[in-house]
Structure formats: C-alpha cells, structure tokens
Amino acid sequence: RAATAARLVAPSVSLASTQMSKADLSPVTVADFAVQALVLEGLRAAFPQDRICAEESAAGLQSNAVLLGQVVRAVQSAIPTATPDDVCEWIDYGAFRGAGGRY
C-alpha cells in the first residue's frame, strides 16, 4: 500500500512544493503528508480496531492553507473525493503514542 501510495502521489508533487519544518528543523514535505494520509486511510479501513503510531501530525497543515491544499490535491490523485478534513483525519489516525492493542 505504501509503494502504491507513493507512486500515485509522486506525479502530483513538484520539487517546488511547499514544505514545513518540525521543531527539530527536519523538513516535512507534501509527499510525506500525502503518503501518510493514504497509507493510514488504508490501514484504518483494513484494521479499524488497531491504533497506529506514525510520524506526522496534521496540526501544522491546519494552520498552513497553502501546504494543506497541496497535500489534499496530492491525496486526490489517489482518492478524488478526499476533502481537507478527510486528509487531516487520516494523517492524525497515526497519533497513537502508547503500547497496547494487538501489539
């Protein structure tokens, strides 16, 4: 699923795409957010009872309309009906930070 997501997103993401930096100054790109949204949407659909720990959070996107728009357009290359709210929800599905559940 991750490789498929990356292949679908790649053509819609240019090298000039907006990015943001995390507190540790590492960059987060449109592709990072878009692929995480697509992978987590698929995992949530397949394993709705499982909680996921992923790297990115939608918090930065929600305060950056330009970046959010680029991420949504990239996700829409795979899921045309995706909305900004969907994308943020899918990204934040990876917000689990504890042990438990199946693993």
The predicted-structure confidence for 18-51, as pLDDT tens digits, reads as follows 666 667 767 788 888 999 999 999 999 999 999 8
pLDDT bucket at 60, cuts 50 / 70 / 90 = confident
The answer to whether 57 and 90 are in contact (CB under 8 A) is: no
Instruction: Tell me how far apart the alpha carbons of residues 22 and 1 are, in angstroms, rounded to a whole number.
Output: 26
d(CA 28, CA 99): 26
H or E, element range at 62: helix 59-62
65-95 pLDDT, tens digit per residue, is: 999 999 999 999 889 999 999 999 999 999 8
CATH architecture of 2-14+25-92: 2-Layer Sandwich (3.30)
Comparison of pLDDT for 101 and 41, the residue scoring more? 41
Q: What is the mean pLDDT of residues 51-61?
A: 90
Every domain of the chain and the residues it spans: 2-14+25-92
Model confidence, pTM: 0.78
